[in-house]
Chains A and B, each alone.
Chain A
Amino acid sequence: MTPRRRADRRAGLLFLTPALLALALLTVYPSVWVLWLSLERRIPVFGVARFVGFSNYEFLAGDPRLWNAARVTLAFTGASVALELLLGVLVALALSEQRRGRRTALALLLLAWALPSVVTAKLFEWLYHPSAGLVNFLLGERSLNWLGDPHLALPGLILADVWRTTPFVALLCYARLLTIPAALYEAAQVDGAGRLAMLGRITFPLLRRVLLIALLFRTLDALRAFDLMFVLTGGGPASTTETLTVYAYRSLFQTLQLGFGSAIGVIVFALVMATAWIYLRVLRREGMAA
C-alpha cells in the first residue's frame, strides 16, 4: 500500500465517521428498536414495559380496524398514484411544447408540491366547506358534506393528495421529454407518422423508465402518507379515511400503547420495504437500474 493510499483510507474513515454515527443513532438504532418495541406491551404513563412476544401481531391479525386501515391505505395509494401518473404525464406533455412563460408555468405547477401538507389540508378543508366552500359553489350543489360523508371523504382526501403530488410526476416527465431529440420526431414526420403514432411509438416508450421511477417514489410516499389525512379528516368519518399510519399514530400517542402502535408501524415499514424491493426487481429485470 502506498503512503498516499494509506492516507486516503484514513481520510475516508475520518470523513465518513460523523455521518455514519449520526445515521446509526438516528436511523439504524430507531429502526431496529421499533422491532423490539413491537414485541412489548409498553404503556409509558403507567410505567408498563413487558415483553409479550408476538401477541401484538396476533391481535392485529384478527383486528377488523387494522384490516379496514389496510384497505383504506391500499385504496388511497392505488387511486392517488394512478391519477397522479395520468395527470402528471398530461401536464408534462402540455409543458413540453410551451415556448413562452415556462418559468411562470413551472412556478404555478410546483407551488402545490412545495406547500407544507398541513397547509394543503387547511386549503382543502376550506374548499370543501359545506355552505361556504368553493367546490360546492362551483358544483352549484350546496349541500354536499365532503369531509363528513363516509362516501365522499376518501375521494375528497385522494383529490387533495393528487393536487399536491401531480406536480412531482409532471416535473420528472417534463425533464425527460426535454431530452428527447427533436430529430427523432422530424424523422418520424418525414416517414409520414401522425401525432398519435409519434406519441405511441416515440414519446411513451421513452417515458417508460421515468414513469416507473415516479411510480416507485409515489407509491412509497402514498403508503407512508400521514399529515394530510391526519389533519384533513383525522381518519373519519367512521374510519373511512383511517390509514395504517393514522391508526398507528392514534395507538402510539393518543391511546398511549407504545408497543401496540409500534407493531402497526412495523407493518407499514414492511409494506414499504417489500414494495421497494419488488419495484427494484422489476427495474433490474428490465435492465434499468444499476
Chain B
Amino acid sequence: MRVGQRIRDGLVLLLLAAYATPFFWQLLTSFKPEAELLVLPPLLPTRPTLAHYAVVLQESLLPRALLNSLGVATLTVALALALGLFGAYALARLPVPGKGALMLGIVASTAFPQIATVSPLYLLMRALGLRDTWTALVLANTSFALPLIIWLLAGFIREIPDAIEEAAALDGAGRLQTLRFVILPLVAPALASAALLTFLLSWNEFLFAYTFTATEASRTVPVALALFPGVFEVPWGDIAAASILASLPPVVIVVGLQRYLVRGVLAGALRE
C-alpha cells in the first residue's frame, strides 16, 4: 500500500512534468545552437549555448521592456492597493449609502471585456497626452485591478470579528488608527495575495499595452515579445530566450510564493 502510494505519487508528478513540456521545450530551445534549431532529432542540444541570451540581452529591446514591465506592474500594485484597501474597508465596515449597489457594480465591472473599454481609454489617454507613457499603462491596468482588489479585500476584512475593532474604538482609536493598527496587520497576508495577483495580471497584460505604447519608452515585455523582430527568418532561438526571460516573474511567483498566489486565486473565485 505504501509502496503503491509512492509509485502513484511519482507517476502523477511525472504526468504533471509532461504537462509543463511546452515550457521546458522552450527552455531547451533557448540553449540550442543555431544549427540544431530546425533539425529533429536530436531532442537535446549537443552543445548548449548562451548565445541566444546574449543576443536578447545585448542587441534587442527586451531589457528595456523588462524594466518597463517591472515599473508598470509595481506602480499598478501600489496604486490599486492604496485605493483598494481604503475602499474595501469602507465597504466592509463603514455606513456607506448605497453600499449594496456599489458592491454589485464593482463585482460586475470585473467582467467588463477589455476589448470594449480599449477604444474610449485610447481616446482618453490621447486627450490627456499620456500615449506611450508608463502612466497610461498604470491607469489602464488599475481599471481592471482595482475592482478585483476591492472585492478580494472587502471579503477578507468582513471575516475579521467586529469585537476586535470595538475594543480599539473603546480605547479611543479613530477609524484611520483602527485601519492602520488593527486591520492592516490582520489582512497583511491577504494584501500580499492581492498584490501578487495584481502584479501577475499587470505583467501579463497585452491588449492595453499593445494599444497605448508606441516605442521602447513604454513597451512592456508581452508587446516586445509579440513584435520580436526577424529580418529574413524567424529567430526561434532568440524568441525562446526572450520567452524564458519574460516568464521569470511568473515562475518565481508559482514556485516561491505559491501559498499567497493560491490563496488569492481561491478567494477571488470562491467568494460570493
Contacts and interface: CB of A to CB of B under 8 A. Distances in A.
Contacts of A97: 8
Nearest to A252: B119
Given A107-B255, A252-B119, 19 more contacts: A13-B96, A19-B83, A20-B87, A26-B146, A31-B120, A34-B119, A110-B261, A115-B23, A116-B206, A117-B222, A134-B40, A213-B269, A226-B206, A226-B207, A231-B226, A245-B115, A253-B211, A265-B117, A268-B115
B219 to A, nearest CB: 12
A258 B239 CA distance: 32
Contacts of B200: 114
B163 interface: no
Contacts of A261: 119
B13 interface: yes
Contacts of B176: 11
A124 B177 CA distance: 51
B87 to A, nearest CB: 3
Classify chain A: how many residues form its interface, as a range: 35 or more
B206 A117 contact: yes
Contacts, number: 278
Chain B interface, DSSP helix/strand/loop, else mixed = helix
B95 A27 contact: no
A16 B250 contact: no
B160 interface: no
Contacts of A276: 108, 111
A116 B114 contact: no
B133 interface: no
A110 B40 CA distance: 29
Given A98-B9, A108-B13, A127-B22, A26 B236 contact: no
A91 B89 CA distance: 37
A249 B22 contact: no
Chain A interface, DSSP helix/strand/loop, else mixed = helix
B174 interface: yes
Contacts of B206: 116-118, 226-227, 230-231
Given A18-B87, A171-B265, A105 B13 contact: yes
Interface of A: 4-5, 7-9, 11-13, 15-16, 18-20, 22-23, 26-31, 33-34, 37, 44, 91, 94-95, 97-101, 103-112, 114-124, 126-127, 129, 131-132, 134, 137, 163, 168, 171-172, 175, 210, 213-214, 217, 220, 223-224, 226-227, 230-231, 244-245, 248-249, 252-253, 258, 261-262, 264-266, 268-269, 272-273, 276, 289-290
B111 A272 contact: yes
B135 interface: no
Contacts of A245: 113, 115
